[in-house]
Amino acid sequence: MTIHRREHGLIPSRSAWLIALLLLLPPTVEAQSAPATSGSTAPMAMPAMPGMDHGEMPGMDHPAAPIAPTATDMPALEPPPTPGMPKAPMQGGRPPADARSGDYSDGIAASPMHAMPAHGRASSGLLRIDQLEAFHGDEGNGQRWEIRGWYGGDSDKLWLRSEGVRSGGELEDGELELLWGHATSSYWSRQLGVRHDFGNGPARSWVAVGAQGLAPYWFELEATAYAGAGGRTAARLRVDYELLLTQRLVLQPELEVNLYGRRDPQRRLGEGVSDIQFGLRLRYEIRREFAPYLGVNWTRRVGATADYARHDQRAVREWQWLAGVRFWF
Positions of the chain with pLDDT under 50? 1-11, 28-45, 55, 71
Helix (H) or strand (E) holding 23: helix 2-33
Instruction: Classify strands 140-152 and 170-183 as parallel, antiparallel or unpaired.
Output: unpaired
For residue 24, being part of any structural domain is answered with: no
Give the 3-state DSSP-derived string for 78-112, with helices as H, strands as E and coil as C.
CCCCCCCCCCCCCCCCCCCCCCCCCCCCCCCCCCC
State the Cα–Cα distance between residues 144 and 297, nearest whole angstrom: 11
Output DSSP code: residue 258: E
Q: Phi first, then psi: give them for residue 105, nearest 5 degrees.
A: -70, -20
For residue 305, being part of any structural domain is answered with: yes
pLDDT at residue 83, as a whole number: 59
pLDDT at residue 40, as a whole number: 45
What Rg, from alpha-carbon coordinates, does the chain have? 54
Output DSSP code: residue 55: G
State the Cα–Cα distance between residues 131 and 323, nearest whole angstrom: 9
Half-sphere exposure of 80 (CA within 13 A, CB side): 3
3-state secondary structure of 304: helix
pLDDT at residue 150, as a whole number: 97
Domains: count for the chain: 1
Q: Domain limits at 289?
A: 125-328
For residue 249, being part of any structural domain is answered with: yes
Judge contact between 123 and 152, C-beta under 8 A: yes
- Average pLDDT along the chain: 81
pLDDT at residue 4, as a whole number: 46
pLDDT at residue 96, as a whole number: 75
For residue 285, being part of any structural domain is answered with: yes
For residue 223, being part of any structural domain is answered with: yes
State the Cα–Cα distance between residues 63 and 91, nearest whole angstrom: 49
State the Cα–Cα distance between residues 172 and 190, nearest whole angstrom: 30
CATH number at residue 132: 2.40.160.40
pLDDT at residue 126, as a whole number: 96
Helix (H) or strand (E) holding 310: helix 303-311
Name the residue among 220, 212, 205, 285 with its Cα closest to residue 248: 285
